[in-house]
């Protein structure tokens, strides 16, 4: 799914807003203007009436402006685990329902860069 397709743009925007909310809630000090999101070529968005499938795989990176506490990282990782099932609960597909089949996320800080990796699948 090329990122310039409408569904890729929709999910990139949804993910960007979600990440901003999560880092604020977890009190992770990032420079919001530094956030970059990249999708892996395995990403797909197919929501016909039958054979629905979504996969969003990639990573987001941002510059941290000060050291990140372990409590903030724990809170961020908890939020990341909860967000995908929450997003799917709001997606309405006539005659079908999307179910989370993979919800892998991780967050790491190295130097002044935080990297959030995600592999999210719904079928």
Give pLDDT tens digits for 41-53. Answer: 888 877 666 677 8
pLDDT-based confidence at 106, cuts 50/70/90? very high
Q: Is the pLDDT of residue 111 over 60?
A: yes
State the pLDDT at residue 1: 45
Cα Rg of the chain, angstroms? 15
pTM of the model as a whole:
0.85
H or E element in which residue 115 lies: strand 113-122
More confident residue, 55 or 64: 64
State the pLDDT at residue 93: 64
Would you kindly state where each structural domain of the chain is located, as residue ranges? 6-122
State the pLDDT at residue 56: 87
| Phi, psi dihedral angles at 98 (to 5 degrees) | -85, 135
Q: How far apart are CA 41 and CA 100, in angstroms?
A: 20
| Residues 98/41, Cβ–Cβ less than 8 Å | no
Which residue do the tokens 């979600």 mark?
18
């Amino acid at each position: 799914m090329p990122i310039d397709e409408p569904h890729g743009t929709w999910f990139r925007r949804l993910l960007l807003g979600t990440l901003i909310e999560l880092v604020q809630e977890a009190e992770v000090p990032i420079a919001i203007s530094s956030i970059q999101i990249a999708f892996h070529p395995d990403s797909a968005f197919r929501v016909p009436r039958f054979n629905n499938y979504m996969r969003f795989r990639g990573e987001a990176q941002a510059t941290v402006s000060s050291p990140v506490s372990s409590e903030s990282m724990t809170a961020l990782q908890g939020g990341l685990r909860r967000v995908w099932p929450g997003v799917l609960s709001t997606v309405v597909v006539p005659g079908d329902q999307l179910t989370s089949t993979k919800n892998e996320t991780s967050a790491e800080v190295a130097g002044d860069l935080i990297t959030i990796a995600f592999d999210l699948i719904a079928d």
